Structures are given as structure tokens and as C-alpha cells.
Amino acid sequence: MKPVIFGLSGLALTPDERAFFAEADPVGYILFKRNIADRAQLRALTDSLRDLSGRSDIPVLIDQEGGRVARMRAPEWPEFPAGPVFDALYDIAPISAIEAAQANAQAIGLMLAEVGITVDCLPLLDVAQPDTTEAITSRALGSEPLRVAAMGRAILDGLRAAGVVGVVKHMPGHGRARLDTHYHLPTVTASDADLEVDLQPFRRLNGAPMGMTSHIVFEAWDRDRPATLSPVIIEQVIRQRIGFDGLLMTDDIDMKALSGSAGEKAAGAIAAGCDVVLDCWARMDEMVDIAGRLGEMAPVSRDRLDRAMATIAGVVPEGDMAALIAKRDALLALV
């Protein structure tokens, strides 16, 4: 098995994709709007990925956060709010905010489980700062680390109740970035002491099954390499200081924050200590390059993958989506 999660080009596997994926045997797949039409088509697609791999527990990922980051859209599916609305409720009713975040996540999870999606890239545990890029503030759970952790835990619990694995992101924190990593490489100059604030939510949720790195240079820890490509940050900060021993995947390796070919970036991330590379865009030449540069998944990484997927093994999705949404909306109406 290759330590990579690949994207797909369309609504169904092409013959070339089917042949390539059968040979490469990636860890899993990630879906985007281009892969989604309706319930029947999406379920057929995810079933085809399980059939091709021969693994019933293969991770099938999506970014379904709510707000602007949502691949499954109305009118086929309900719209969901983003993190800041729960942060606003927390200001006046912390327990209600936690309950609303959990109900919201469980409803999202039920929606995903119905179509065979098993992993959601949620929650964000990035602690917002006054000058954080809007790419994060429009999605974050707030600027106070303990409330971010509390709502993040509720989100993980809600997803798991629906039979979906959550991914904490973006380790070791994206809150001090002033630039959008889709287009630029941010450099954070904060001191090690100041960065403790950013680590707190991740440390409190260090038992999460999966995590995602950030493409950010932290001068206090590694002046030369972004977190995704830094053995120092992955081992000393994420693994040791945070204490995270779950499956660690990169953020999308295609983001402009990183330089080099797709294969070079992928190999660099695995060499730095990431368990899995995330490559989202389904460009066949780049996927071939990545697969050619990566060896088999390391045993320790395979163990982390197995442990992560075991957290939902045998879980029967609980709850009624409409009732959960109604509960969330009644709580959010308190604001």
C-alpha cells in the first residue's frame, strides 16, 4: 500500500484511474465537488473504491466543514454553518455551543455515512489571532484555545457517533498565518513561548485518530522548512510536545506554499515523518510521479491507519439528521 490519498477526476472512475489505482494501491481517496452529483451516484462511486481496493474500511475522505468549505451542496443536501457561529454562541452559553457543535457534526456525519464517506477533514483546531488570514478566520472555532478544544472534541464525538472519523487540523496550528497557503508560504515569527497557545487545542485532543499538517514555516522551530516537510516539527513538536500518535497526513501537497514537483514534495513529506501524503487534483502525471517516488507504507504508519479506522468499526450511525439540525438551530437561535 502506497502512503498517499488521491483525488478523482470525475463522477466515476475512468479506465485509466481504475488501472493506475489497482496498481498503486493508495491508502485512500478524497472527494470534491467535481466528484459529486447526487446520492445514488456518490454511493456508487464510494462503493467502487471499496470494490477496487478490496478493503471494506478504506478511508474515503471529504472536506465537509460547513460554510464555504462544503463539497456536498444544496439542494441535494442541507447547508451547514461554519465554526464562527458556534464561537459566537459560546460567548453567551458555552454548554449550548458545545451541544450545538456536536449535533451539527453528527448530522454532517450521518449525511456522509449514507453515501459511504468515512472520513471528514474536520475539526479545525487553529486558534485565530487578530491578523489571521481570512482563509482560516472564516472557518475557525475561535481565538481562545480551551473553547476551541472543547468544541473540537464535541465535533469529533459527533462525527464518530455517525460512523465517521474526524481529522484535527492544521497541526501545529494555522492561526498565526497571515497568508493563504493555497497561494503563498506563510512564515510565523512568534516565539516558542507564544506558540504554546497554538499547541493547546491539539495537545488536549492528542488522542484524535487522524491529523493534518500545515504548510507554514515556524521560525522558532525550523527556519528553513514548513511543518509538512520538517522532521524537527513533526517529531519534536507534533509527536512529542503535542503527544499526537494518530495518522498524520499532509495538507494538500499541491498548494502553492510548497515548491518542487509533486513527487519531490510527497517524498519530502514522508521522509520528514508524515504518515500519508494528500494529493487532491487527480492529475495522472503527478499521481504517477508520486507513486513512483514512494515506497510501501511504513509499518508504524499502517498501525496508525488501522487504529484510526478501528474507531468506527462496527459503529451503527446514531440519530436522526432532521432532529439534530433542529436541535442545533434552536441552540444557535440563542445568539
**Residue 81 has what pLDDT?**
98
pLDDT at 179: 84
In this prediction, residues 133-149 reach a mean pLDDT of: 95
Average pLDDT, the chain: 97
- What's the whole-number mean pLDDT along residues 189-213? 98
pLDDT of residue 180: 83
Q: How many separate domains does the chain show?
A: 1
Kindly report, residue by residue over 220-262, the tens digit of the pLDDT.
999 999 999 999 999 999 999 999 999 999 999 998 889 999 9
Cα–Cα distance between 85 and 155 in angstroms, integer? Answer: 14
Catalytic residues: 182, 251
Residue-wise pLDDT for 267-279, tens only, equals: 999 999 999 999 9
pLDDT digit string, tens, across residues 293-327: 999 999 999 999 999 999 999 999 989 999 999 99
Mean pLDDT, residues 51-67: 97
pLDDT at residue 181 tops 90 = no
Residue 217: domain span:
2-332
Q: What is the predicted pLDDT for the residue at 66?
A: 96
Mean pLDDT calculated for residue range 70-80: 97
Strand-strand pairing, 69-70 and 64-66: antiparallel
pLDDT of residue 230: 98
User: Considering the chain, what percentage of its residues have pLDDT values greater than 90?
Assistant: 95
HEC-encoded secondary structure of the chain:
CEEEEEECCCCCCCHHHHHHHHHHCEEEEEECHHHCCCHHHHHHHHHHHHHHHCCCCCCEEECEEECCEECCCCCCCCCCCCHHHHHHHHHHCHHHHHHHHHHHHHHHHHHHHHCCCCEECCCECCCCCCCCCHHHHCCCCCCCHHHHHHHHHHHHHHHHHCCCEEEEEEECCCCCCCCCCCCCCCEECCCHHHHHHHHHHHHHCCCCCEEEECCCEECCCCCCCCHHHCHHHHHHHHHHHCCCCCEEEEEECCCCCCCCCHHHHHHHHHHHCCCEEEECCCCHHHHHHHHHHCCCCCHHHHHHHHHHHHCCCCCCCCCCHHHHHHHHHHHHCCC
Lowest mean pLDDT across 103-107, 167-171, 181-185, 286-290: 181-185
At residue 249, the pLDDT reads 98
CATH number of the domain at 221, please: 3.20.20.300
